[in-house]
Structure formats: structure tokens, C-alpha cells
């Protein structure tokens, strides 16, 4: 028997990368899963791979209407909703403040925060009534950048810090009926893209080949796989294993927070760069 037998979940950004791994694991654990994603092709592949267990919902997480439609379709197809997972996101490729183009800061900020933060808020808004009825749970994908610097630039890092606050506030507001938790993965070879406002929407984090240098910055000596990260979501979604957890964020990052001292700061070359 799976730990999620009989449960129904909704995953945003679930058609590729970490989201796809979460969907695969939830189905393996006995859940039926609705997926909200922008890729029609990848959604079609999900349906083919998981006949009858996955519902494809085409849409944009920045739209409240699309989130509400996904919840409605999920409840209509599967009868209820037990767990909603906010996972869709974009990364800023660690673009530092001084390199953000002045004419694109507004658009880049809006895009990163609308996807990484508002997308989660809208999912929670759309799913809350169904989750209260089922006494279910919300789970948000955060990042090591939700706690430490250098996991992204200021746009990404600030957005992930904001999600930590969102977890805590919603855990308070929705208790005692809905548990709200977060998973903060570390580096991963996935298909995470960047904001279109910075011309990074066709750039995948997988091209950085982080795994080749993981032994230099990850205490466990390698990058965990997307499949290995997925177990944390099962734990939080489980009505047995996750029962005591709400307002919690799991640092699930290969030990990034326990690294020893290395570079003290990143601004050593700024004096020369901005010298008149």
C-alpha cells in the first residue's frame, strides 16, 4: 500500500523537472494528481504515462482564474482535493543587483514575484475551500535561497524568502483545518528556466551542469536527484507521517547550511568596477 492511497493532489509546474518527479512519486504512492502547467506537450506526455491517474490542466499560475479552474476540474474529476502543491517557479541565474538592467528591473521583478510568490498565493486562494472541506494540506517548493545568500540573485532570493513568510502566515490562518508546509531543496539538474524579462526564458539550469562541481559545494558530495527530493512532499502530504507538521519548512538541500567558511563576500571587485 502507498502512503497516499485515496488522496487527490494538485501540483503546479508538474509537467517537468522536480514537479514531474513529485507527480510520478505521488501516483506511485497511490494518489491521483491534477497538474497545472503551461506546456501542452508535456501535459500530454503525463497523461500518456499515467493513464487515468493524472488530470492535465493547461494554464498559467499567475492567473487566479486558471488556478480556480484547475481546482474545479480536479474536484470534478476526482471528487475532492487533499493536497495542493505550489511548485512552478523561475530562477534569475544569480544575476546580481549591479547587473540588473535598469530598463528591465520592473518587468523582471514583477515576473519573478508573480510566478514564485503570487502563483503560490493564488493556488492557496483557489484551493482553500476544498482543502478545508477535506482537512488537507498545502505544500510550497522553496529553495536553499529561502534561507541563505548565493542561491540566486536578489530577485530570486527575495522571492523565496517571501514564500517562507507565506508558509507561516497561511499555516496560522488556515489552522486547524489545513496544514501548510514548505520543502527547500538545494541544487538540482532540472529544467528550471529564467524570467523572459531578462531574456532567460529559453535557458535551462540543466545547462550549467551543476552536478559536475557538486563535490565542491554540497556536503553530501553530489546533487540529489529530483526523485530523491520528492519523498519530502510525500511525508508532508501523508495524513499519518505529516500529521504534526504545519508552518514547517524542511531544509532538504544536501547540507548547504552546514558548509564551512569559504568566500566571505561577493563584492570584492566592485571598487574597481565603479572607479571614476
Q: Write out the catalytic residue numbers.
A: 156
How far is it, in rounded angstroms, from Cα 217 to Cα 30?
Answer: 36
H or E element at residue 168:
helix 154-174
CB neighbour class for 104 (10 Å; exposed up to 12, middle 13-18, buried from 19): middle
Q: Is 98 left (phi over 0), alpha (psi -120 to 50) or beta?
A: alpha
Q: Is 153 exposed, middle or buried (0-12, 13-18, 19+ CB in 10 A)?
A: buried
Q: C-alpha cell of 43?
A: 501535459
> Is 99 in contact with 273 (CB distance < 8 Å)?
no
Amino acid at each position: 500500500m502507498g502512503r497516499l492511497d485515496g488522496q487527490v493532489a494538485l501540483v503546479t509546474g508538474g509537467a517537468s523537472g522536480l514537479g514531474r518527479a513529485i507527480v510520478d512519486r505521488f501516483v506511485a504512492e497511490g494518489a491521483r494528481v491534477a497538474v497545472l502547467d503551461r506546456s501542452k506537450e508535456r501535459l500530454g506526455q503525463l497523461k500518456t504515462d499515467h493513464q487515468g491517474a493524472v488530470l492535465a490542466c493547461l494554464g498559467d499560475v499567475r492567473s487566479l482564474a486558471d488556478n480556480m479552474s484547475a481546482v474545479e476540474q480536479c474536484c470534478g474529476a476526482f471528487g475532492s482535493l487533499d493536497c495542493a502543491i505550489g511548485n512552478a517557479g523561475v530562477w534569475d541565474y544569480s544575476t546580481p543587483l549591479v547587473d540588473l538592467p535598469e530598463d528591465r528591473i520592473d518587468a523582471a521583478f514583477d515576473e519573478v514575484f508573480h510566478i514564485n510568490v503570487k502563483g503560490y498565493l493564488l493556488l492557496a486562494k483557489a484551493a482553500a475551500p476544498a482543502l478545508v472541506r477535506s482537512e488537507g494540506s498545502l505544500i510550497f517548493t522553496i529553495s536553499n535561497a529561502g534561507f541563505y545568500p548565493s542561491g540566486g540573485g536578489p530577485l530570486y532570493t527575495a522571492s523565496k524568502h517571501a514564500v517562507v513568510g507565506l508558509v507561516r502566515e497561511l499555516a496560522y490562518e488556515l489552522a486547524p483545518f489545513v496544514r501548510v508546509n514548505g520543502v527547500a531543496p538545494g541544487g538540482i539538474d532540472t529544467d528550471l528556466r529564467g524570467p523572459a524579462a531578462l531574456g532567460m526564458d529559453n535557458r535551462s539550469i540543466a545547462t550549467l551542469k551543476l552536478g559536475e562541481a557538486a563535490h565542491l559545494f554540497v556536503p553530501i558530495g553530489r546533487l540529489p536527484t529530483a526523485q530523491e527530493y520528492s519523498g519530502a512532499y510525500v511525508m508532508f502530504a501523508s495524513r499519518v507521517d505529516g500529521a504534526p507538521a504545519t508552518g514547517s519548512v524542511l531544509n532538504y538541500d544536501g547540507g548547504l547550511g552546514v558548509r564551512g567558511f569559504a568566500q566571505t563576500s561577493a563584492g570584492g571587485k566592485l571598487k574597481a568596477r565603479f572607479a571614476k
